[in-house]
Amino acid sequence: MHTVVVGTAGVTVSDVLAVARADARIELSQEAVAALTAARGIVDALAAKPEPVYGVSTGFGALATRHISEELRVQLQRNIVRSHAAGIGPRVEREVVRALMFLRLKTVCSGHTGVRPGVAQTMADVLNAGITPVVHEYGSLGCSGDLAPLSHCALTLLGEGEAEGPDGVVRPAAELLAEHGIAPVELHEKEGLALLNGTDGMLGMLIMALADLDRLYKSADVTAALSMEALLGTDKVLAPELHAIRPHPGQGASAANMLAVLKGSGLTGHHQDDAPRVQDAYSVRCAPQVAGAGRDTLAHARLVAERELASAVDNPVVLADGRVESNGNFHGAPVAYVLDFLAIAAADLASIAERRTDRLLDKNRSHGLPPFLADDPGVDSGLMIAQYTQAALVSEMKRLAVPASADSIPSSAMQEDHVSMGWSAARKLRTAVDNLTRVLAIELYAATRAVELREGLTPAPATRAAITALREAGAEGPGPDRFLAPDLAAADAFVRDGRLVASVEAVTGALQ
């Protein structure tokens, strides 16, 4: 099994994905243990002084003015975890919780939090045991960190609350820790606060969304190419020299992908045939411009994610010169903005895909295809309602594109008077990514059927490979009406797990 070693300099995107989605094991580097020990020494020295230090010997948030005596500090740290574990609603997905815990461990190991090495090791042990704290949908405002979600994770370290075992069964955390030989931790000065104060949930969801959207943007180039074939469009608009004079990187990459997928097609370039037209509709002709803009948005979001991965997000932080300073680095605005931006780009990509599907089904605009791609129109309805389903998904994605980060609800008696709502932005982006997958699957299903109905014309080798693989995956081709949901589900799985892109790349080589 792959092992991820956590040091003081942060982790990589591939590390996060390996732990969250592939259950990679975690080890702490000697460098990290040394940094943890050094920072803890600073905190212990400050804790022994009579002067109050925020997070070490004071209350929190609006209660930071109270100095906490030494005999109450263990109780203080335990209480902050218990009281902040106030989430409600459905459970958050296992991969999100694993990313959340791993990214908090990454910051803990930076040497800027003052957490003892043993607490960090327990965090790694819990992840390695496949124990996943129960975290709820609602509770984070994306400022002072993802407080409630992280608190539910910290509660498991204390042996309290509930968690899911490696068998998928939710049980008391104390039982799961005992079964795996993990002793619950007793938190000392600053440690409770350090486990709660980060952007880890929203960052983890951003990283996973970027991985999924990278695959989906390649998938969208393939489905757009298939629709162009099915509509007898022209691939001349994909010429590199046209995109060179408007040098947006994403646009050029998208056009190059479509051109590679369409190489050798016998369906493109038929404008002069039975239904002459000067230009294709925007949804066909402008596919690289729209998908390309989304690709450039991904690039910007990836830059933000990489910067955040290299960050130590906590408050207060332990500095190398021995100071423990309050700061505002826990504010989720940088991450929240790009999460919202990605939801906007995803909604627009879904919208243009739906327009191509609608064009394929309309006999007045499909250039010779049967109404709704039906076998016997009138007796058969074909893919009429598949487009309804697609339209419903796109409509929801437009609602999900409304920014969460533009909202702010003050909290903590107006001490935390401006928040990012980054967790909410991340949660709605996950739904948007799921819906985009389904929208592209429906376009794929319609476009492949339409290509197969173009008798006497030969599709490109790459699109032919995609059609063959899709049919082998269980999504059937043209014919009389049948129970359609299983076919759409098969197409959804085919896009979701990367088989669409893989089937095409087996012919074209790696897409951009």
337 a catalytic residue: no
User: In angstroms, rounded to a whole number, what is the distance separating the alpha carbons of residues 481 and 233?
Assistant: 27
User: In angstroms, rounded to a whole number, what is the distance separating the alpha carbons of residues 265 and 285?
Assistant: 17
Query: Helices 333-361 and 200-230 sit at what angle, rounded to 10 degrees?
Result: 20
The structure tokens listed for 205 are: 């969801």
Whether the Cβ atoms of residue 159 and residue 131 lie closer than 8 Å to each other: no
Report helix, strand or coil for 318: strand
Q: Which amino acid is at 199?
A: T
Query: Helices 94-108 and 147-157 sit at what angle, rounded to 10 degrees?
Result: 80
Whether the Cβ atoms of residue 204 and residue 20 lie closer than 8 Å to each other: yes
Q: Which amino acid is at 5?
A: V
User: If you ran DSSP here, which 8-state letter would residue 184 be given?
Assistant: P
Q: Which amino acid is at 179?
A: E
Whether the Cβ atoms of residue 293 and residue 248 lie closer than 8 Å to each other: yes
User: In angstroms, rounded to a whole number, what is the distance separating the alpha carbons of residues 131 and 94?
Assistant: 10
What are φ and ψ of residue 58, in 5° steps?
-135, 170
Q: Which amino acid is at 422?
A: G
User: In angstroms, rounded to a whole number, what is the distance separating the alpha carbons of residues 46 and 460?
Assistant: 70
User: In angstroms, rounded to a whole number, what is the distance separating the alpha carbons of residues 453 and 326?
Assistant: 66
Tokens 């003081």 — which residue? 8
Looking at the annotation, which residues are catalytic? 54
